[in-house]
Structure 1
Amino acid sequence: MVLTLARSSTGFMLGAAAALGLGFLYTAGPLARETVRALNTVLQSVSVLVWSLVLVMLFGVLSPLPPVLVAALVSLPIMLSALLAGLDSVNPRLVELAAILGASRRQLYTDFLLPSLLPVLAGAGRAALGAALRISVVAEAFGGSGGIGYMIATYYSLAEPRGVFAWGLVLVALMVALDKLVLERLEERTRRWAALPGQG
């Protein structure tokens, strides 16, 4: 259980970091915007099953990388879609204020745009991490040396349905606990922060 959580969390962080980097590229101009949007469409179009199989073939059955990378590839389009939508709807006065203060493009992005989009990103992060947790289990089932997905696949190969159901329930319990105890509270906290006078 800890192994699955560690893999999915690592993948989520990689996906979120990539989304933030692509978001910065998105602010470079019309060509960059079209390129990032096209890349996001491609990422959304590829099936998780395809990613899992390709990564297992590339790195091997016992490699810890496929579950992490699959989680990253699932998290990336979720985070990126929310970020691009937020950037497209940003208040023009915020951009004008940054220009008056002499902010560079990097400062505009990191000091003005991202803080104003924090509630949007928190909501997307909640969905992305949940998806990463679910999908990393699929990669573990196809090829992994441990984790919930590996245990489900093991009991399935032994024709032991009780083991499959038991580990399935462990996954559900882990997801519910993570969402209710951590992610929901973080999202509520960012929304309260954005609602403070002078913030967001």
Structure 2
Amino acid sequence: MSTYDLAGGSPRQRIVTAIFNPTILTLIGFLVIWEIAAMSFSPRDLPGLVQLAELTFTVVSGGDRYYFPEHAWITFQRIGIAFVITMVIGVTVGIAMGYGVIERYMTTPVMVVLTFPSVVWAFIAVMWFGLTTYLVMVFVIVVIVAPYVIVNVWKGAESIDHDLLEMADAFDASTAMKWRHIYIPFLMPFLFSSGRLAIALSWKLSLVAEIFGASSGIGYVINIYYEAVRADMIIAWSVPIMLLMFGIERVLKRVENNYFEWRPELDDVTSEVQSG
């Protein structure tokens, strides 16, 4: 194979391939549609791309009447706390269900909670706990996201190759050795996919919960601008955290792809969980 082939073609071919990348084309199409749609609305309702960029820069740089770093920091704290609690609960219960320990007792409760509307949980949490700094937001995220993690890990634990376990038993492998060499390596891809799913859901739920049950945070500021009928500022405050969370999710996805290419069926399992 020549150096030309290894390089993936000429520079011109690589540029053409990059330009016609489906992701880039989709993004360009979305931006064009946005700009065309913005012409039919007032800037306060749907800002054009240039105005949105200016508003977003003003928000991120702290030039808005509400200080973005302060509200963003408290939102990230809530997301981080809820993420850790969600993963601990989801992984623990999911593994226990996958190995048949509590599957008969937990399947129905998990599925019931999984189908409960997120907005209703936000209302209930505010009624139970009032306006809080952390409790309402963390509670809403955990109670909604944990079932997704549980189901993902549960199905992953169920699909462990039993031939490997029988081989380990034949060689008198200890429980610790089974966990180290079979269970944990097999479950790691499912843990990564569960983490990506939890991050993708957590930041959205945090904003919803902050609208109803907080006096600080990005969701709180969004609610203020909603009452002021400023859709442009709502979008400007949402864009930075959306881009950040998308970047984190993509980094985790890249790590997952690099380390777990031997599990091509993983995305199929995750897709089933998300659609279910």
Common fold by TM > 0.5: yes
Q: TM-score, normalised by structure 1?
A: 0.83
Report what 2:203 is aligned to.
Answer: 133
Q: How does 1:115-130 map to 2 (within 5 A)?
A: 115-130=185-200
Q: Please, which moves more after superposition, 149-158 or 163-172?
A: 163-172
RMSD over aligned CA atoms reads 2.5
Give the superposition deviation at 1:183: 2.1
State the alpha-carbon separation in 2 of the partners of residues 18 and 40 from structure 1.
Answer: 12
Residue 89 of structure 2 corresponds to residue 18 of structure 1: yes
Report what 2:271 is aligned to.
Answer: none
State the alpha-carbon separation in 2 of the partners of residues 172 and 187 from structure 1.
Answer: 21
> Unpaired segments of 5 or more residues in structure 1?
196-200
Give the partner amino acid of 2:208.
Answer: V
User: Is contact 1:122–1:190 with CA below 8 Å preserved after alignment?
Assistant: no
For residues 76-130 of structure 1, what are the alpha-carbon distances to aligned partners after superposition, in whole Å with 9 as ceiling and x for unaligned? 12211111111221100232244343434x7755663232121122122211211
Report what 1:187 is aligned to.
Answer: 256
CA distance change for structure 1 residues 27 and 172 in 2, over 3 Å: closer, same or farther? Answer: closer
> Unpaired segments of 5 or more residues in structure 2?
1-71, 265-276
Report what 2:27 is aligned to.
Answer: none
Residue 144 of structure 2 corresponds to residue 74 of structure 1: yes
Q: How does 1:153-168 map to 2 (within 5 A)?
A: 153-168=223-238
Report what 2:66 is aligned to.
Answer: none
CA distance change for structure 1 residues 59 and 191 in 2, over 3 Å: closer, same or farther? Answer: same
Residue 161 of structure 2 corresponds to residue 91 of structure 1: yes
State the alpha-carbon separation in 1 of the partners of residues 242 and 95 from structure 2.
Answer: 35
State the alpha-carbon separation in 2 of the partners of residues 10 and 193 from structure 1.
Answer: 32
State the alpha-carbon separation in 2 of the partners of residues 110 and 72 from structure 1.
Answer: 28
User: Is contact 1:9–1:133 with CA below 8 Å preserved after alignment?
Assistant: no
Residue 219 of structure 2 corresponds to residue 149 of structure 1: yes
User: Is contact 1:90–1:113 with CA below 8 Å preserved after alignment?
Assistant: yes
| Overall identity of the aligned pairs, in % | 27
Q: State the structure with more CA Rg.
A: 2
Give the partner amino acid of 1:163.
Answer: M
Give the partner amino acid of 1:141.
Answer: I
| Structure with more of its chain in helix, by fraction | 1
User: Is contact 2:94–2:149 with CA below 8 Å preserved after alignment?
Assistant: no
User: Is contact 2:98–2:154 with CA below 8 Å preserved after alignment?
Assistant: no
Give the partner amino acid of 1:173.
Answer: L
Tell me: higher relative CO, structure 1 or 2? Use CA pairs within 8 A at least 6 residues apart. Answer: 1
User: Is contact 1:15–1:74 with CA below 8 Å preserved after alignment?
Assistant: no
User: Is contact 2:99–2:158 with CA below 8 Å preserved after alignment?
Assistant: no
CA distance change for structure 1 residues 74 and 187 in 2, over 3 Å: closer, same or farther? Answer: farther
Give the superposition deviation at 1:178: 2.0
Residue 106 of structure 2 corresponds to residue 36 of structure 1: yes
Give the superposition deviation at 1:7: 1.1
Give the superposition deviation at 1:2: 2.4
